[in-house]
A and B are shown apart, each in its own frame.
Chain A
Amino acid sequence: MFGAGGGTSSYREIETTELIVLWGSNAREAHPIFFHHLLKGVRNGARLYTVDPRRTSSAKWADVWLGLDVGSDIALANALGREIIRAGLVHDDFVRHATIGFDEYAASVEPWTLDRAAAVTRIPAAHIEALAHEYANARTAQLCWTLGITEHHTGVDNVLALINLALVTGHVGRFGSGLVPLRGQNNVQGGGDMGALPNRLPGFGDLTDPAVRARFETVWRGRIPSVPGWHLSEMFEAMHRGALRALWVIGENPADSEADAEHARAALGALDTLVVQDLYLTRTAELADVVLPAAAAWAESEGTVTNSERRVQRVRKAIEAPGGARDDLAIVFDLAQRLGHDWGPPDAERTWDELRSVSPNHAGMSYRRLDEHGGLPWPCLDEQDPGSEFLHGRLWARPRIGAAAPFVPVEWRPPLDELSEEFPLRLTTGRVLDSFNTGVQTERFVSPIRGGHALDLAPTDAAALGVGDGTRVRVSSRRGAIEMDVRIDHDLPAGLAFTTFHFPELADVNELTSDAWDPKSGTAEFKATAIRVEPLAGRFVESS
């Protein structure tokens, strides 16, 4: 945000803040390490709000759970902003000093009265009002979110709506106040930081800026295309229309994880060349022409990872990889050599030092210093820099350093996959504690708490359908149909169904999900699918 692709705050801040708003995130299960830090904050007296269509296990730790309707996040955020303005709780000084576009923002949220928001979000107006006042009045507040915000066709707008709230209240750029998008793995942040984005060079260098490109070209001794590449959703569109013919997949399993998976598999199968580099023979690898067995980044390789607080930490090789599995770095170096570029022997530290020479944010992070400090958070500009615990302190500097932070008015649009008589239930997907994404890694061990895959239904919906725990049902969406077992979840509001997508070979949930995606981020709308549920074997009979 504001040009930096990372959360603004450190874990230490969530432990000492006054108010935590966890929005569209079930961190207790999906980000358990972060949740430990969050619980320290709660124990130290922080109030915790969760905003989530489901009363998740995270929500059960919250002082208040607000169960907004799927996809109504912007309606809620705009109403919060309007109420903060109406009640005179705007941080005037910060808004004047550090932001631009407030008047346009105020005008854009003006129609979002509490009553209108209550009708759209289905949260009672008094509770929206209470959150607005608590957030604005808190001395420090952390606004945290995950895929419940981003996996919508309005994902970027959803994030902007939250950022607007932080700007209007001054809850950013200070110790204890910030905006925290949680990262799903130990190194999702690092992946983006290292340039695994279609429009960014490592360290978030802007690909379209000739000066930035020149800096990299000097070091890399080659030409960098000035046109951003495709993001994942665009790649699949390009595959479908035949414009993308060869694909090299490293540590991803799109054959299972893509929305509308059947469609995605067809595209992968039709490629001229598919190369998959992975620890396991995933469903994607099964479609590949060439499979490159890779060593695990954890314990079998040298390198670094970057966590949600932007802290770069070293990982070390402890054991040899089994069989013919090779370090990712070695595979890439070998490939380069076959393509006519001799980069010398692969070496993690040398590669890292090259990154430091082109990414100012990482310049101060030598391996020696990373060892010495137990990791450093970026930006870390030189070898004296202790790294940055929180970002955007510049906004508070007098005079302000750098550009003002812009308000970006956003308008609510409902999910594209509309509910209808034919598809009356809303299906949303998510993760559970002991499983990870498509299960490539987690299906390999037994967990005593694994609940198995099921379609979770609210008691009233189940009763209306005449189904109960264990009833086999057909679940249909506008794209496909699968069979699943029902599980009654007393914490789900009526009209909402939930399932995980950890067990694609048992229930191919992503055959149902919508492949509509956010044009700004390329992220698919996994969180809002319209479905119909039909019992398969007669009607469920309540046992007496």
Chain B
Amino acid sequence: MDLHLGPERASAAELAAIQRALGEIGPAVLTHGDRVVVGGSRRAQERRHLLLPGLWALQDAAGWISPGGLNSLCITLDVPPAEAYGVASFYDLLSTEAAPPVIVRVCDDLACRLRNDDLEFAGLDLGEHRSSPCLGQCDRGAAALVQTAGAPIRVVTQRAGASPVIEAPTGARLLRRICSEVDATTMTGYRALGGLAALERAIGLGPDLVIEAVTGSGLLGRGGAAFPTGVKWRAVADEPAGEKHVVANADESEPGTFKDRVLMEHDPFALVEALTICGLAVGAEQGWIYVRGEYAIALERLAVALDAARAAGMLGAAVLGSDRRFDIELRRGGGAYICGEETALLESIEGFRGEPRNKPPFPTTHGLFGKPTVINNVETLVNVLDVLVLGPEEWRRAGTIGSPGTRLFCLSGHVTRPGVYEHPLGVTLRQVIDDAGGTSGTGTLQAVLLGGAAGVLAGPDQLDVPLSFEGAREHGLTLGSGVVMLFDDSVELRGVVERAARFFAHESCGQCVPCRVGTQRQVEILARDEIDGGLLDDLDRVMTDASICGLGQTAASLVRSARAGGLL
């Protein structure tokens, strides 16, 4: 490409960081004497996906993306600097302006704001802190993210996390290894806990029977949309042979959600194994795990697990000695809620701004790099292990007919024992709350937030609703990503709704007008003393009907439910 670069270039430290992150890929443009140059769009396209890792390398090394660092990265990748700047400035955790050497971001989102009256924790100097949307630490908040130039990101929390809790009459499934005494984060421990049995079975069964089992289990996606997993896998498997991808959506960013973090931190091999099974089933040789950038520990443990998996022959040219090739690349998000939207996530991996695509076409036909792609939530994928080990019939014995299996619930807010709980789908909301020790705070429950910022508020009169996909839907509720956030009667719910509205206004990618303008207008209306209900209804309709992706389509959901419940 004919790049037009300013005069600045990277420092030695920045150059070294780029090289460490991208490996010895050399420049995009190769000169042979003064009469032949090899390079071009194809080479640039092939390495474009390294842009976000490269930007992270610069951010980590210098504490910001300096113009010189950006220029040098652009030369290596053959990306126009204006475009790279557009990508860098898209992500909250990447700074395109000179930043102080330490940046502290304190979560002031829905759960943590209940506890933020005491910010003096972990010895942090919070004098100059910035606020942050949900960091996924709701069970142990308040929480802060600390970015230090030249050092890895770290998350600091006020309290230690509660242990995950199993409340499944059929026995622990998703949390089984985590709740055992054995450390599942080492390959030895994972194997001792029965790890790799599912992958071995999958190789024995072959792709068709694996997909048949997943389809037969009736497993529905756990990311929020509840799409049948088997249908997705079948669609990609049926695409003509060729380049295909499988992606684990670990960009868990819905306020109040932290179940995938717990799975990845304590049971990383389970995700690696499940994604491998998915890849083998649909005929992909490349898998990707896209983890939100704030999950430093999960990223680290997954990286270790991937190395161990390669060393053990679980990944690579011959998966567990079979004739199948499969490997996984780990990707770190940049602090953008929108990248949890599946097509935005694909754009982000490809090295572009995380702006959702129009659908159709769906990722099953035109996914990552335009190739057929399965993209599943972490919890969804981990379920596949038990589907294969138990067999679909046995697996279905938990849950309801319409919502088979168990579900992870993220208990936070005014609850006695916050944490991740596993229940069979169809459990009542009351049961879920009781098992977590009931309402804390004043002890009187005012409302429960289900499904996160894009979810709904349930009143104390709705505690007997069965938490299955169909049960929730029937009562105008949603399970979403498994958020169960309690508010006692001291909480001003309007503040909760306003915070959620601000969250969407901040996280809207700005691509489509209904969402970009609508989420902002919603904040402004809620900030007034007199709320104009008619205007909110109008905004609700235009955002829900006309936004490109789920962010805008659900940005009015919480406001709507609060008004319907007379809570606003």
Cross-interface CB contact of A67 among B1, B35, B38, B40, cutoff 8 Å: B35
Please give, as numbers and ranges, the residues of chain A lying within 8 Å of B35 by CB-CB distance: 66-68, 122-124, 493
Tell whether B33 is near chain A: CB-to-CB under 8 Å. Answer: yes
**Pair B38/A493 contact, Cβ less than 8 Å:** no
The reply to whether A39 and B36 contact each other, CB–CB distance below 8 Å, is no
Tell me whether B42 is interfacial, beta carbon within 8 Å.
yes
* A65: nearest chain-B partner, CB-CB: B37
Chain B nearest CB, measured from A526 CB (Å): 22
> Interface segment, A55-63, A208-216, A362-370?
A55-63
CB distance from A111 to the nearest CB of B (A): 22
Report if A488 contacts B (CB, 8 A). no
Q: Would you call B38 and A63 a contact (CB within 8 A)?
A: yes
Shortest Cβ distance from A4 into chain B, in angstroms?
Answer: 32
Tell me, rounded to whole Å, the shortest Cβ–Cβ distance linking B29 to chain A. 8
Contact B1 A61 (CB under 8 A): yes
Give the residue name and chain of the A residue nearest to B29 (CB): A60
Interface residues of A in 10-65 (CB under 8 A from B): 28, 39, 42-43, 45, 47-48, 55, 57, 59-65
Considering only residues 421-451 of chain A, those with a C-beta below 8 Å from chain B are none
A28 to chain B: which residues have CB within 8 Å?
A: 2
Q: Kindly provide the distance from the CB of A48 to the nearest chain B CB, expressed in whole angstroms.
A: 6
Whether A57 and B42, one on each chain, are in contact in the complex, defined by CB atoms closer than 8 angstroms, is no
Cβ of A332: which chain B residues have Cβ within 8 Å of it? none
The minimal Cβ–Cβ distance linking B256 to chain A, given in whole angstroms, is 41
Interface bits B34-56 vs A (CB < 8 Å: 1, else 0): 11111111110100000000000
Contact of A60 among B2, B33, B36 (CB under 8 A): B2
Are B37's CB and A55's CB within 8 A? Answer: yes
A105 to B529, CA, bound (A): 88
Distance A63 CA – B40 CA, assembled complex (angstroms): 4
A124 and B41 in contact (CB under 8 A), knowing A60-B1, A60-B2, A61-B1?
A: no
Nearest neighbor of B44 in chain A, beta-carbon distance: A61
Q: Is the CB of B36 within 8 A of A127?
A: yes
* A28-B2, A57-B2 known; A63+B36 contact, CB < 8 A: no
The answer, yes or no, to whether B32 is at the interface (CB within 8 Å) is yes
The verdict on A494 contacting chain B, using a C-beta distance below 8 Å, is: yes
Within the assembled complex, what's the spacing in Å between the Cα atoms of A61 and B45? 11
Identify which of B34, B37, B42 contacts A59 (C-beta below 8 A).
B37
Whether B36 pairs with A67 at a CB distance below 8 angstroms is: yes
Give CA–CA (A122, B1) in the complex, Å. Answer: 24
- Contacting A at CB under 8 A, from B19-35, are 29, 32-35
Cβ A124 vs Cβ B33 within 8 A: yes
Complex Cα spacing A143 to B261, Å = 55
Q: In whole angstroms, what is the CA distance A344 to B469 when docked?
A: 79
- Chain A residues with CB under 8 A of B1: 60-61
Q: Residue on A with the closest CB to B41?
A: A42
B347 CB, min distance to chain A CBs, angstroms:
16
Taking CB atoms, residues of chain B closer than 8 Å to A122 are 35
A114 to chain B: closest CB distance in Å?
14
Shortest Cβ distance from residue B41 to the other chain A in the assembled complex, whole angstroms: 5
Hey, which chain A residues are within 8 Å of B42, CB to CB? 42, 45, 47, 63
Does the CB pair A63–B34 fall under 8 Å?
no
Residue of chain B at shortest CB distance from A63: B40
Q: Which residues of A contact B32 (CB under 8 A)?
A: 124, 127
- Which residues of B are found within 8 Å of A66, using beta-carbon distances? 35-36
Q: Give min CB distance, B326 to chain A, whole Å.
A: 25
Q: How far is the CA of A352 from the CA of B363 in the complex (A)?
A: 50
B35, B36, B40, B45: most-surrounded residue (chain A CB, <10 A): B35
- The answer to whether A63 and B39 touch (CB under 8 A), given A28-B2, A57-B2, is yes
* Cross-chain contact of B41 among A39, A458, A493 (Cβ < 8 A): A39
* A45–B41 CA distance with the chains assembled, in angstroms: 9
- Once the chains bind, are B40 and A61 in contact (CB under 8 Å)? yes
Q: What is the bound-complex CA distance between A64 and B42, given in angstroms?
A: 11
B37 adjacent to A64 (CB under 8 Å): yes
- Tell me the bound Cα distance from A42 to B39 in angstroms: 13
Residues of A contacting B41 in the complex (Cβ-Cβ under 8 angstroms): 39, 42-43, 48, 61, 63
Q: Could you list some 19 contacts between A and B, CB below 8 A?
A: A39-B41, A43-B41, A45-B42, A48-B41, A59-B37, A60-B39, A61-B1, A62-B39, A63-B38, A65-B36, A66-B35, A66-B36, A67-B34, A67-B36, A67-B37, A123-B36, A124-B35, A124-B36, A127-B36
Not counting A61-B1, A124-B35, a sample of 15 additional A-B residue pairs whose C-beta atoms are within 8 angstroms of each other reads A39-B41, A42-B40, A42-B42, A43-B45, A47-B42, A48-B40, A59-B37, A60-B3, A60-B39, A60-B40, A61-B40, A63-B40, A63-B43, A67-B34, A493-B34
CB-CB nearest 6 A-B residue pairs: A63-B40, A57-B2, A67-B35, A60-B2, A493-B34, A65-B37
